[in-house]
Amino acid sequence: MSQTSKLLSTVKRILKSKGLTYEDISKEIGMSESSIKRLFSEHTFSLKRFEQICDLLEISFYELSKISLDIESTHSVMSYEQELILSEKPRLMIFFYLLLNGRAPDSIVRDYKISKQELVKYLLELDKLKLIELHPENKIRLLIQKSMTWLKNGPIAKKYDKWLKREFLKAEFDQADEQWQLEYGKLSDGSQQMILKKIDRLFREYYELTEMDKTLPLEKTHNTGLMIAFRPWVFSLIESYKR
């Protein structure tokens, strides 16, 4: 995929997340909607047009490029050895988690109980583990996607999986920004596969939104969690009445 194609793919994701259309772009840059559609289909955007679209999206061209690079060039899974070291060093794991969620190293020192000495130590460790690429002045590039999945039965899952599930579900889910819902029904094998694909797509969209929102000031974002579970299942109370 060409660099232009990658940038346009990222633009489309951000447009969708913000509820914007080709019509909105046409009004912003003074072109007809049909011309905008042709530019997208033919990948013939000039740098000036990209900058105008970035103004509409309220991000810089640099930020657009960074989001595109992060989505396309990072890995989605850690090795067993990487997970093992993080599972044995909780403070290092928390530090890496904060980096994954868009926190700058200096802001972590400011807001969390991590000293400047630990900051340097942790950055060097993560660089050695090839989880980040460390640059001068503590600038970093993540080498792992935020949307990564833990290794099944790997060191992180074994140590934290039950803890995370228990803590996440320890809520009433009765607030305006919370939702809990359980549906029960019979599905064919094909329909089950469709549900699994839709769940996978939702997680990808969630990840893309978190990447886009990294460009916003911290005070305009909130820590959130998304947990979805699906499996063949019958409520034990119902099962107990079967002959």
2-46 pLDDT, tens digit per residue, is: 677 778 888 887 887 778 888 988 888 888 989 988 888 888 878
* Contacts for 177 with CB less than 8 Å, ≥ 6 apart: 222
Q: Is 154 helix (H, G, I), strand (E, B) or coil?
A: coil
pLDDT bucket at 67, cuts 50 / 70 / 90: confident
What does the pLDDT look like over 73-117, one tens digit per residue? 555 678 999 999 999 999 999 999 999 888 899 999 999 999 999
- pLDDT-derived band of residue 60, with 50, 70 and 90 as boundaries? confident
Beta bridge partners of 141: 133
What are 73's two structure tokens?
């060039």
Q: What integer pLDDT is reported at residue 109 of this predicted model?
A: 95
Tokens of 76: 């989605």
Euclidean distance between CA atoms 66 and 215, whole angstroms: 10
Specify the residue for token string 């490029």: 65
Indicate the average pLDDT of the chain: 87
Task: Output the CA–CA distances (angstroms, integers) from residue 3 to 6, 11, 221, in the order listed.
Answer: 5, 12, 29
217/231: higher pLDDT: 231
Is the Cβ–Cβ distance between 144 and 74 less than 8 Å? yes
pLDDT score recorded for residue 213: 82
pLDDT digits (tens, 9 = 90+) for 118-172: 999 999 999 999 999 999 999 999 888 776 778 888 999 999 999 999 999 999 9
Res 10: pLDDT: 82
The pTM of the full predicted model, rounded to 2 decimals, is 0.66
Which pLDDT belongs to residue 70? Answer: 61
Tokens (6 digits) for 115: 């000293």
Instruction: Residue 50: name the closest of 64, 33, 68, 30 by CA.
Output: 64
% of the chain residues with pLDDT over 90: 47
Which of helix, strand or coil describes residue 186? coil
72 pLDDT more than 60: no
pLDDT given for residue 44 in this prediction:
81
